[in-house]
């Protein structure tokens, strides 16, 4: 039996190929097989050697062409063939990426795994739009949740805990459920006028942005008919967006600025 | 008067120079001046051109050799001299980095700013240790807070909201206050046996790790006498650490696994 290969679990970042890390580029350049998700761009895939075996296992919301268990099997089989395998995921493999499930399956099969982090979508959105994820006086912390349910089950989130106006709330995979999310947050006392930034396909040439408020985001995002993944940033930091509507800026100016807990 | 230069606000990542993005490396290579924080390593600074003007403005907890207002002035002055300035910060400039304050000051002075994100410490810790930030059945979301107070004031965090066992809690800059943080969380009902991972100088050759539990982390972290920045990861995901103590694994095995809300 051959010596098994190794699997590198690599974050491809939010979209812009220049946001790959040096480590991701090096590992891609050594790959003999690349197992990649739907959101990884052609420009990034082009960094793999011409003879590498390219294996798409794209997942879309509510469509799983390749179930997770089968992805695990593909990775194990390629590594047992002695190949150096790069498992390439959009964003960061350990932030809503199910990367740790693949690590567990590979570990159980005795295959060495190394992880390379990637810029996650929230960071791409922040850098592209200038909306910070934390800011003294506007947000002293940061929270990431997913707005996507498995198997059409209801969203099961800690709504009272999420309704914290001093924390920036970032919703991944929330396009289908943003109406419910916004309604639940206002139901817990978040101001209807709280600004919301929605960005589709952030850091790519197809990027589209919308600045709205909690009570209008669902209608306005639906009207925008975004394609590609949409990220929602909910919180007072959105007031720092360069072209934030004047009514939102006025609402924030009327509110006394709190001193945040960090230096 | 000369045409003003431009400022690039660049994330240097958690420490390992290979975790810089391609964009960060490109911008550093073009810099005529580099204004950098204490946590940026010599290997990263070596990527700047030999003739670039290097300006340290290092901040340490409770020591501010250069106040933020003065850093803003330095950036403005260098840009008004017509220079291409890279403002280099550890981690990501928009996650606890005060980057947005610098952006606001530069915007007010009419100086163009562009932002390049960086891998934040939590992502570096996750990739280095294999402890994911989310994992189906263990954490359906993720929260970042800072445990550092300005001017020795008491910590002002949303303790009831933070005590959510379904969310991974990451504490930045918490070494000085971890005893209070742990006590507050258990006071809000978080289990005393909840696992905690502490990592100092993550992704660098000086990296040190400690796996503990909520009721012991303060004593054990103090005993470890960490140097360098320490990040705390609090939550059930820590049970996935490769060498997690058996007692913590047993505690988690005894708890029924919840189905998380994400696919």
What is the ipTM metric for this complex? 0.91
Min Cα distance B123 → chain A (Å) is: 6
How many other C-beta atoms are found inside a 10 Å radius of the C-beta of residue B219? 13
Which strands, in side-by-side order, build the sheet including A6-11? A53-56, A33-36, A84-89, A6-11, A113-116
Tens of pLDDT, residue by residue over A1-55, are 678 899 999 999 999 999 999 999 999 999 999 999 988 999 999 999 999 999 9
Does B69 share its domain with B143? no
Does B100 share its domain with B167? no
Report yes or no on A217 lying in a domain.
yes
What is the DSSP track for A106-146?
HHHTT--EEEE----HHHHHHHHH---S-BTTTBSEEEEEE
* Stretch B158-175: mean pLDDT: 93
- Partner-chain residue, chosen from B13, B98, B124, that has the shortest CB–CB distance to A136: B98
- Number of structural domains (chain A) is 2
Mutation to test the B interface, candidates A12, A13, A21, most B Cβ within 10 Å: A21
Tens of pLDDT, residue by residue over B66-87, are 899 999 999 999 999 999 999 9
Does A112 share its domain with A166? no
Contact between chains at A141 and B136 (C-beta distance less than 8 A): no
Is the model more confident about B3 or about B2?
A: B3
Q: Which domain holds residue A234?
A: 121-253
* Stretch B91-104: mean pLDDT: 94
Contact between chains at A144 and B140 (C-beta distance less than 8 A): no
Report yes or no on A62 lying in a domain.
yes
Domain boundary among A59, A91, A116: A116
Does A76 share its domain with A133? no
Does A108 share its domain with A192? no
Contact between chains at B142 and A95 (C-beta distance less than 8 A): yes
- Write the CA distances from A13 to A124, A155, B29, B121, B132, integer angstroms: 8, 26, 21, 16, 16
Nearest 5°: the CA angle B40, A236, B112 is 50
Domain boundary among B116, B132, B156: B116
Does B127 share its domain with B112? no
Domain boundary among A68, A94, A116: A116
Does A136 share its domain with A13? no
Domain CATH code at residue A159:
3.30.950.10
Residues of B in Cβ contact (< 8 Å) with A262: 96, 146, 148-150, 173
Report yes or no on A260 lying in a domain.
no
Return the pLDDT at A142. Answer: 97
Active site (annotated) includes residue B59 = yes
Contact between chains at B100 and A237 (C-beta distance less than 8 A): yes
Does A125 share its domain with A99? no
Instruction: Please give the structure tokens belonging to residue A64.
Output: 């799983």
Does A180 share its domain with A243? yes
- Partner-chain residue, chosen from B117, B136, B155, that has the shortest CB–CB distance to A126: B117
Does B103 share its domain with B165? no
Report yes or no on A40 lying in a domain.
yes
Mean of the per-residue pLDDT values for chain A?
90
């Amino acid at each position: 039996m051959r010596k098994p290969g190794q699997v590198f679990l690599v974050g491809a970042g939010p979209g812009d190929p220049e946001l790959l890390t040096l480590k991701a580029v090096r590992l891609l350049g050594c790959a003999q097989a690349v197992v990649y998700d739907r959101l990884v761009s052609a420009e990034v895939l082009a960094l793999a050697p011409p003879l590498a075996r390219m294996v798409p296992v794209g997942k879309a919301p509510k469509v799983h062409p390749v179930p997770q268990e089968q992805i695990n099997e593909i990775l194990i089989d390629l590594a047992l063939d002695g190949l150096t395998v790069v498992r390439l995921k959009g964003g960061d493999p350990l932030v809503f990426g199910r990367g740790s499930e693949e690590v567990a399956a590979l570990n159980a099969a005795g295959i060495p795994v190394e992880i390379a982090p990637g810029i996650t979508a929230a960071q791409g959105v922040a850098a592209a739009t200038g909306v910070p994820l934390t800011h003294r006086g506007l947000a002293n912390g940061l929270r990431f949740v997913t707005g996507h349910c498995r198997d059409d089950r209801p969203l099961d989130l800690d709504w009272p805990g999420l309704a914290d106006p001093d924390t920036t709330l970032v919703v991944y995979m929330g396009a289908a459920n943003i109406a419910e999310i916004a309604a639940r947050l206002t139901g817990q006392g978040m101001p209807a006028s709280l600004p919301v930034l929605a960005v589709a396909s952030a850091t790519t040439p197809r990027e589209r942005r919308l600045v709205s408020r909690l009570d209008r985001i669902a209608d306005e995002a639906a009207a925008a008919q975004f394609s590609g993944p949409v990220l929602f940033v909910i919180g007072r930091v959105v007031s720092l967006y360069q072209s934030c509507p004047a009514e939102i800026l006025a609402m924030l100016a009327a509110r006394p600025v709190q001193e945040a807990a960090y230096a």
